[in-house]
Amino acid sequence: MSSPSVSTTGSITGKLRLATVWLAGCSGCHMSFLDLDEWLIELADCIDMVFSPVASDSKEYPQDVDLCLVEGGVANSDNLALILQVRARTRLLVSFGDCALSANVPGMRNMLGGAEPVLRRGYLELADDSGVMPHAPGIVPELLPQVLPLHEVVPVDFYLPGCPPSAARIRAFLEPLLRGEAPLMEGAEMIRFG
């Protein structure tokens, strides 16, 4: 096959280099991806999976990724560094699931008014008598003041809502890209949240 390229419609042609990333979320979107079951075998013939928490031991996000499905919101310094790297090295970035689109459940901590009240509540107020605030620079990533959806941090090319998006929706999104077409993101089956 020819090397992947992005057309003027934003679609990918050729065998695509696919990545998935998991930020602040529950991994439900990745579990839905795995629910593609036997279609994953067909998909494997059309892609090079270059980075994923479910299919790769690599710790370094690669260069020249065609398409990346990013699950979860941006909640801490590690999430922020990774999403900036992902955006810089990826042609088409997909906000994958409701947490990536809106911060969803991880964003509920935003109501507490910043990182300090969240840590105090979780590690001191709700802890037993041995409560200690975590602080291990370089080991425990610092919380950002708020959990942010992807589009508030980096440009996003496609939005794939759902909590999680169903395997059928994921397949309906990927199939046009594999044909070199832009996915049609309209109608309740493709754009419903939850």
CB of 78 closer than 8 Å to CB of 24: no
Quote the pTM value: 0.88
pLDDT at 13: 54
Three-state DSSP at 73 gives: strand
Higher pLDDT, 68 or 193: 68
Q: State how far the Cα of 101 lies from the Cα of 27, in Å rounded to an integer.
A: 15
7 pLDDT higher than 70: no
CATH T-level topology, domain 5-107+146-182? Rossmann fold (3.40.50)
Report the pLDDT value the prediction gives residue 8, as an integer from 0 to 100.
45
pLDDT tens-digit map of 97-121: 999 999 999 999 999 999 999 988 8
Q: Encode burial over 144-166: b for 16+ CB neighbours within 10 A, e otherwise.
A: bebbbbbeebbebbbbbbbbbbe
Structure tokens at 142: 């610092």
Q: What mean pLDDT is reported for the chain?
A: 89
- Cβ(89)–Cβ(63) below 8 Å: yes
What residue ranges in the chain does DSSP mark as E strands? 5-6, 12-13, 16-22, 47-51, 65-71, 74-76, 90-96, 143-148, 158-160
Average pLDDT over residues 12-23: 85
Read off the pLDDT of residues 125-174 as tens digits, 9 standing for 90 and up: 888 777 788 777 777 899 999 999 999 999 999 999 999 999 999 999 99
Which one is predicted more confidently, 4 or 111? 111
Average pLDDT over residues 48-53: 94
Taking alpha carbons only, the member of 115, 33, 32 closest to residue 79 is 115
